[in-house]
Amino acid sequence: RRAAARARAVSRGIVASSSEVEQSYIMIKPDGVQRGLVGEIISRFEKKGFVLKGLKLFQCPTDLSQEHYKDLKDKPFFPKLIDYITSGPVVCMAWEGDGVVASARKLIGATNPLQAEPGTIRGDLAVQTGRNVVHGSDSPDNGKREIALWFKEGELCEWESVQTPWLIE
Ligand code: ADP
């Protein structure tokens, strides 16, 4: 019954079909894993009301980290950034929901944790740009690109959260 209601909502343009719903690639960096912040960080996205579509603990190889951060390859900090991201396991996540990309960036806070607002993940949990605990895609297009980069076919789950009707009128 729920599936039928959803199909009607999709056809009436009230709800985007799953393939159209925005997704963001969120990654807990090695410092977040080492510092035992995995549960805390996941919890913030869960409580907000986004839907988790993919999740794995993963040791990132150098070439993948370079591809992920390719726009920063000419920055002086690039070699240190690659060392940091590959220094231990990361937690890779695909989160879904309307507006998730911009909202996740707000939940995460400014790149420099000392400038990040209290209440944000970086504002509450970190002190340095080079150890800022979490990554979030900066545009819906990059969300798609990064999820395709970090997840293999079949690693994302298509499922409906029972919370959705209580989050979205
Ligand atoms: P964001 O992660 O907030 O989108 P950027 O895309 O500008 O920020 O940078 C990507 C990541 O590179 C940052 O999250 C941080 O880990 C690292 N980084 C950025 N600037 C610096 C810097 N000046 N020194 C060290 N690391 C940096």
Query: How many angstroms separate the alpha carbon of residue 168 from the centre of ligand 1?
Result: 33
What is the reported pLDDT for 19? 60
Q: Identify each DSSP E strand in 47-160 by its residue range.
A: 51-58, 90-96, 134-136
User: Catalytic pick from 44, 53, 68, 135?
Assistant: 135
pLDDT of amino acid 12: 43
Low-confidence residues of the chain, pLDDT below 70? 1-19
The reply, when asked if residue 77 is annotated as ligand binding, is yes
Tokens of 130: 């080079």
Interhelix angle 100-108/38-48, rounded to 10 degrees, is 140
Look at residue 5 in the predicted model and tell me its pLDDT. Answer: 54
Half-sphere exposure of 57 (CA within 13 A, CB side): 8
pLDDT of residue 20: 83
Is the CB of residue 23 less than 8 Å from the CB of residue 47? no
Residues linked to residue 95 through DSSP beta bridges, in sequence order = 24, 52
128 lines ligand 1 (CB under 6 A): no
Predicted model pTM: 0.91
Amino acid at 151: F
